[in-house]
Structure formats: C-alpha cells, structure tokens
Structure 1
Amino acid sequence: MSEWIEGVLSRVSRHSCGGNRWLGFSGGLDSTVLLHLLSRQGLELRAIHVNHGLSANAGAWQEHCAAMADSLGVPFVARRVQVDRDGRGLEQAARDARYRVFGEVLQPGDELLLAQHGDDQVETFFLRLLRGAGALGLAAMADARPLGGASVLRPLLGVGRAQLEEYAREHRLRWIEDESNADQSLDRNYLRAAVLPLLSERWPLRERVTRAVQNLREAAELLGDLGSADLELCDQRRERFGESISLASVRLLPQRRRKNLLRSWIAACGGSMPEAPHLEQALQQALQSGEDTQMAVAVGGLVARRFRDRLFLTPPLPASPAGRQYRWNGRDRLELAGGWTLTVDSGWPQGDYQVCYRSGGERARPTHRRHSQALKKLLQEAGLEPWLRDLVPLVYRDGTLLAVGDLFLCEEGLEGSLKWRYGGACG
C-alpha cells in the first residue's frame, strides 16, 4: 500500500464518527478516488450528490454517480438545488447551495468527507490572497472542522492530483470532467491553467503553501481563541433558529475584535469565510442606533439579523411555506418545510389534526387570556423573532385552533405539550 493511501486511511480513522459517514460525491476525479478507496477498505459510507443544474450534463452526471455508488455497494442520495448568485461569484453561490443541502441531510454526530486535495488547497490559498483575506482566510481549508452538530473531514489535503490520477488509472476508474473547468473566465480555472504552472516551475508550490497554511492556521487559532472568549463575554446563546449575542457587549469591544468575533462565530456555526465588505456591513447595520431594524445580511452562507438588541446568526430562511397544510396523528414526528419538525413533548392526545401556517388575519385566545387577540400581536408578545413568525405551525382540530407551535395552547383542559424545532446546521 502506498504511503499516501496509508496517510488518508490514518486521517479518517483518527476522527471517530458517532453517526453516519457521508461522502460528498460529485463524480469528479477526487471524490471518485476517495469513494473507491474507502469503500474497498470496508468503511461504511453513504454518498451524497448535489445536482446544481448548471450544466446540460447535470442529469447524466447524477446517473453516473448513482451507478458508481451502486457498483461499490454504497447507499446513494441525490439532491437538486437552485443556485442563486445574488451578487456572489458562481463558485461561492454553488458552494452555499451545497452546504444548505449538507445542513439539511447531516444529523448531529454525522461526518461529511470531502475530497479536496493538496492542489485544491494551493488554489484556495492564492484565491483568498488575491481577495485580500486575513489570517483565517489564508489558512485556507481546514482538514477537519465542525458543521453544526456534525463535522467535516478532508482526508486528501496531503495528496496531489497526479497521485489521484495514477490511482484512478491503476483501478480503471471512470470519472466526470466538468466542462466548466476549461472556462478561464472563472478565477480558480485561470489560476490553475495560467498562473500556478509557472510558479510550480520555480518553486515546490504545494509544499511551500502547506507550510504557510500551517503557520497561518496557528495564528488563526489564536484569533479563534480570542473570538471564543469574546463570544462568551457577549452572552453567546443558542436560539430556536441559530444563535445570538448581546449587542450591548459587542459595543464595548474595539472594531478589530468585533470583526474577529464575528469571523470566529461564523466559523463555529459552520459558515464559510465571509467577504470583508459583508462582514463590515453586518456590523454596521447591527450596531446602528435606534429601534431594531429588519436587517438580513448574508455572511459566509449564514445570515446576520438583529432583534431586541441582540445580534443573531442564522441559517438562510427556507422558502415561505404559506398555503401548505399537513395532516398529523398527534403521535409521530411531523416533518415540516425547511428542516423544521413538530413533535409531542408529553401527554398530547392522539387524533386527527390539521397543521398549517399564517395566512393573515388570524386570531387566537391563549388559555391564560379571557379574550382573543390578533395572532400577529400575540407572536410579538411571545418574543418570537420576526423572521420566524410565518414559519410557526398552527395546530387545528375540526377547524378549532389548539396550539401555536410550542408557544402557547388555545384550548382549555388540553393536556400535554409540543416541541417545534429546527434540525439543520447552526440550529
């Protein structure tokens, strides 16, 4: 067995997995080699393929990946996504779409194996350098990091593409060549085709970048330690949807520590390194004086929001579920739109229930009130964040409203209680 293969297997074995092991399987050379290598070693895996729909060949690629996984006896899951650029580069928009899928599929304790290799690391380093990244950004891709309650592992970062090609030829593997890789209008492709080969003629690029990345990661870890301490000082709190910190405490920090705090927080929640303008915009809007504003600033695949003088970091909101209805037996876990669930906490009676969402104009009478009131006002009084008020499930039986999520009951004498929870990353 070659030395690099032993290294890959050793990196995987050192990271214990308390749940399912997933492998991000695009069908390209790197993920094909990693899937083949690990499955041949008897490692229990599940392959997940994200179909971005950006190529006319996307459907054929998905079929190829399904067939490859089946030939290796690996369970296969595919998800199709809509890539919304929304002012971002195509690569970043596609990455954000992938990670939304990962956040929906992975459960606490699961591990996601990604197949980026050493040459990808070099490209990432130079891309971030040219974008003016700081120490954490220049530390490029970590070999392991948390992703919500799950974790990400990149066991191929010490391996070059040439070694993967040699393995693939030896085992007669077939892989997908994405035609967009030839498009030098994309920054990564231009670096790969026109810049890095010239630098590699003079310097051992992968080795030098690896050394720089290790040094920068040490510096980034020190900044991360400071960020973690500042998060604790700022009353970091797990919320129903994401997390929050006290803006009053953030205001006491100098600007450089505010930015470092936000970077560290985004990383801890499984986000990607945000662009500096987005980071500054989020802090500026969050710290402006006056009443709470309906801010929603995209940062690193997450969203910064503000409510009641706290800064929230949340996953992106799902599409509005307005008009959707569910039938529920009052016993089993009910899967709702966007990664939310409704379950019985204790004593809830079984029956035939209808679950839907606000459409406007609803009224409710909580059991501790004598009169009904507008549901909109009751949700405000309950302190539910504004961005969640259209997502709260309304539980009816025979046309009578019984419960508003797990916020309050509307039926006297009704026993039991419910749990309304988000199950995705940074939830």
Structure 2
Amino acid sequence: MDLYADFCRHTAGVRPGQSLLVAFSGGLDSTVLLALAARLARERGLTIRAVHIAHGLQPAAESWPAHCARVAATLGIHCQTIGVQVALGSRISLEAAAREARYRALAEAMAQGEILLTGHHLDDQAETLLLALKRGAGVAGLAAMPMHKKFGPGQQWRPLLTCSRKVLETFGREQGLSWVEDPSNAADDFDRNFLRNRILPPLLAQWPSFNRTAARSAELCAEQMELALELAEQDLPDLLNPAGGLSVTGLQALSRARRHNVLRHWLQQHQIHCSRSQLQAIWQELALARMDAEPEVRLGQRSIRRYQGFLYLPREGARPRPLDSLKAGKWLHCGVGQLRLSPVTRGADLITELDPGELQLAFGVAGLRAQPAGRAGSRPLKKLWQEYGIPPWQRPHIPLLMQGTKLVAVPGLFVTRDHTPEPDQPGWQLEWLPE
C-alpha cells in the first residue's frame, strides 16, 4: 500500500494554519508518524512540533530524549521533552498509570485548536478490542479507538489506524528511519504485551485478516454507540426536573435496555462511569426502595440519592458565597453558580424600582416566607422547597435574592409576586447559571 497516500486521506481535514503536535516516543510507530507528518507539513505549509514524554520507569529510557531530539531535528522539527511522575494506585496497573500521566502531559502541552497525532495502528486496535472483551465491556469499550476525537484544547487524530505494524516496519526500513526498541515490550506481564507477543501472532497466522475484521467489528460497535447516545439525548430531557433530578417513574416506563442507556448517559454527564452491576444496584437500591425512603448509593467519591421519586447527584465540593450587593450587567460568581441582572425595556423578570446595589445574594436564611408570582397567599420557604421538589441537601446551596430581610426571588425557580412586573414591561432581566 502507499502509506503516505493513506496518511493523507486520514489527515485531509487539516485546515491551513492549523498546528500539528506529534506524540513522539521514539519507537517505530511514532517515528513513522513523525516522518509522514513532516512531509505533510512541508507540502501544506503547516506548523508542526513534537513532544517526547519521559516516564523515567527504566534505565534504557534515559537516552531516548536525546535520540528523539536528533531524529526530529533531521526532519526539521523541534522536539520538546516533558518529564512526568507515574502515580501508582492499589487498583491501577503500571500500564494504565503511565498512559494517564502521558495523556495528561500531552493535553497540558497542547495549544488551543491544535491537533495531536498519535501512532496507534491496526494491530493496536485489535489489541484494544481483545482487552475490552477480556473486561466484559459494552459497545463503548468494544468500539475501541476512534480515528478522531476531542482531546484537551484541541483534537486527537490517529491517522495510522488502518495500517498494520508490518506495513509501518516495511516503510521505516525502506526510508532508513532509526527508532528505539523498548525492552519492556518483551515482558508478557503487561496485558498488551501478552496479547502482542503470545496471542495475536497465532491468530494472524491462522487468519491473516484478523486485525482488519476486528477493526471492522470495532467500527460497527462505534456506530451502535452513536445510536445509543442519540437515543439517550432524546430520552433524557423529558426525564429531568428543574432541580436536575432524574424521574424514577419516567425510567420505569422505558425498556430495561433503554433505561440502562439513559441512566448511564446521565451519570457520564457528571463524569461518573459505572459497571453493569453498579447500574443494577442503583436501580434496585434506589429506584425500587420503598416510597417513603431516602436511600443513597456511593460510587467512589460520589453519591446518588432519591427524593420524591427523583434520583439526584448531590454537589460535592461547591461552597456557596454570599454577595453583599449586586452590580448591573455583570456576571457575579457565588460559588455554586453565576448571576447577572441586566436592564431590559420589555419582558423583564423583576420590577424596575429595584436597585441592584441594595440587593444581596444569601444562602440558608431561616424563617422566610414567600408568595411566588401566580400563587395565592404566601407560604414558608420550607414548604415551597417541598412543593418544588428541592431535596434537603440542595437547599443550603439555593441562592436567595434578598432586599434586606425580604425575599425578592429564588433565581432559576421563582420571583415573588410583589417584585414581578406586568407583562412586557421594562425592568431587570434575571439570569442564573448553576455550576
């Protein structure tokens, strides 16, 4: 195959003026990648640079930064070396810890809109799929590695993903490229090495096209994952209440597979990734608990709770910050969100007589009563919290717009009757963006 032509097809979306950042380990894959990217940059007038991540995990790696700098220099490219510390945990492998440290450093090194090129190839894709099977992963895991994805302040591209390692090695030798061999690649203690050294060779000997058919399966799983995401994005809005709670009754109306899909999507929006057994535990212990219960399930450092038929993810770490006075037309941060009061000539939320400098933003004020616009009579705020379905743990984080001791509005929830203008009248627009 014409490797450069294939590389050009997979980088056709690079726009003039965009910058390329090559993740350069010094091994075969990234060396071929750097040579191809250098030619592309020359022909298209692109900015290109390379980064070598030094993990410091083995003595042999001490000479690699100098090697990478020399190889990059012969191609007219500057190579920066970044040292990282690999933090090992009780439930994380050395491979995973090194990968996490590496990608964190690469993301920090990227400029806004830059494209990170990595040297993953067809055999890597097959290994990733087999590892996902070993874990019992769903379609998201079996989709393996995408050709393009958002990453850091830009994107990550894998333009060699359709090329086998054998093709890369042939190209490297024909071009007279020089690369380093990582001694740890021979250690079958690492999962990827075991697959690469012991499993894939006999599979490819028996079925030479195995890595390509495995990659096709990964592509089909990626399509199914996209469909699942589209379905979850359609289902989720109708299941959420204004406080961000997820309706148990709405979930019960869905099929089991569809319920798991939207529940998983809701959790992932909050950076919570859970297993199938954890999803089942959430459903059994939270959704199906008795009606008068307020159960809680812990997932790592986060918790999921139920209140009045809705599931919630309580905010942790956010601290409300009262504001002694407001300024018109300016976004003001209060720890748990942002608020802005802007003058408008019609369609106002608050009456024009209010002076922002005389308003305060408070939290957790006891003993308040309020009459929301359109409601008959005032009620204790505690009763209104219950009517609006605000869980007890959220109430201390709910902003209260005050004028002295008088409640004016609860941003994002209601404005009191005495401070609500007539329709289409001038006044103040009240905007609230929760964290």
Partner of 2:226: 221
Number of paired residues? 314
Partner of 1:413: none
Q: How far 1:229 moved relative to its partner? A: 3.2
The share of aligned pairs that are identical, in percent, is: 35
Residues 73-112 of structure 1 mapped to structure 2, 5 A cutoff: 73-86=76-89, 87-112=91-116
The alpha-carbon distance between structure 1 residues 179 and 201, as it changes in their structure 2 partners (threshold 3 A), is same
Cα distance per residue 1:109-150 (max 9 Å; x no partner): 222111100011111111111111111211111111122542
Which amino acid in the other structure matches residue 179 of structure 1? P
Query: Under a length normalisation based on structure 1, what TM-score does the superposition of the two structures give?
Result: 0.61
8 Å Cα contact 2:115/2:156 also seen in 1: yes
Cα distance per residue 1:167-215 (max 9 Å; x no partner): 1111211112111111111111111111111111221212211221222
Comparing both chains, which one has the higher relative contact order based on Cα–Cα distances under 8 Å and sequence gaps of 6 or more?
1
Partner of 2:385: none
Which amino acid in the other structure matches residue 148 of structure 2? A
8 Å Cα contact 2:264/2:274 also seen in 1: no
RMSD (Å), alpha carbons: 4.3
8 Å Cα contact 2:10/2:159 also seen in 1: yes
Residues 7-406 of structure 1 mapped to structure 2, 5 A cutoff: 7-16=6-15, 19-41=18-40, 42=42, 43-86=46-89, 87-203=91-207, 204-230=209-235, 232=237, 246-249=244-247, 252-253=250-251, 256-257=257-258, 260-261=261-262, 276=275, 280=279, 296-297=300-301, 311=313
Give the secondary-structure state (helix, strand or coil) at the position aligned to 1:246: coil
Which amino acid in the other structure matches residue 123 of structure 1? E
Give the secondary-structure state (helix, strand or coil) at the position aligned to 1:14: coil
Partners of 1:313 and 1:159 in 2: CA distance: 45
Q: How far 1:12 moved relative to its partner? A: 0.7
Cα distance per residue 1:348-403 (max 9 Å; x no partner): xxxxxxxxxxxxxxxxxxx988xxxxxxxxxx97789xxxxxxxxxxxxxxxxxxx
Query: Under a length normalisation based on structure 2, what TM-score does the superposition of the two structures give?
Result: 0.60
8 Å Cα contact 1:50/1:81 also seen in 2: yes
Partners of 1:266 and 1:17 in 2: CA distance: 38
Which amino acid in the other structure matches residue 73 of structure 1? G
The alpha-carbon distance between structure 1 residues 310 and 162, as it changes in their structure 2 partners (threshold 3 A), is same
Partners of 1:94 and 1:368 in 2: CA distance: 51
8 Å Cα contact 2:241/2:247 also seen in 1: no
8 Å Cα contact 2:17/2:47 also seen in 1: no
The alpha-carbon distance between structure 1 residues 294 and 214, as it changes in their structure 2 partners (threshold 3 A), is closer
8 Å Cα contact 2:11/2:159 also seen in 1: yes
Partners of 1:110 and 1:262 in 2: CA distance: 33
8 Å Cα contact 2:20/2:47 also seen in 1: yes
The alpha-carbon distance between structure 1 residues 295 and 189, as it changes in their structure 2 partners (threshold 3 A), is closer
Which amino acid in the other structure matches residue 216 of structure 1? C
Partners of 2:183 and 2:217 in 1: CA distance: 32
Which amino acid in the other structure matches residue 25 of structure 1? F
Q: How far 1:68 moved relative to its partner? A: 2.1
Give unmatched runs, 5+ long, in structure 2: 288-292, 318-357, 361-394, 400-434
Partner of 1:242: none
Partners of 1:50 and 1:123 in 2: CA distance: 22
Partners of 2:11 and 2:268 in 1: CA distance: 22
Partners of 2:315 and 2:123 in 1: CA distance: 32
Which amino acid in the other structure matches residue 8 of structure 1? F
The alpha-carbon distance between structure 1 residues 206 and 72, as it changes in their structure 2 partners (threshold 3 A), is same
The alpha-carbon distance between structure 1 residues 80 and 293, as it changes in their structure 2 partners (threshold 3 A), is farther
Partner of 1:5: 4
8 Å Cα contact 2:122/2:212 also seen in 1: no
Partners of 1:206 and 1:174 in 2: CA distance: 26
Partner of 1:403: none
Greater Rg over alpha carbons, structure = 2
Give the secondary-structure state (helix, strand or coil) at the position aligned to 2:4: helix
The alpha-carbon distance between structure 1 residues 19 and 6, as it changes in their structure 2 partners (threshold 3 A), is closer
Partners of 1:163 and 1:266 in 2: CA distance: 41
8 Å Cα contact 1:22/1:111 also seen in 2: yes
Give the secondary-structure state (helix, strand or coil) at the position aligned to 2:50: strand
Partners of 1:107 and 1:306 in 2: CA distance: 36
8 Å Cα contact 1:17/1:109 also seen in 2: no
Partners of 1:48 and 1:313 in 2: CA distance: 37
Partners of 2:295 and 2:269 in 1: CA distance: 29
Partners of 2:52 and 2:398 in 1: CA distance: 39
Q: How far 1:293 moved relative to its partner? A: 9.5
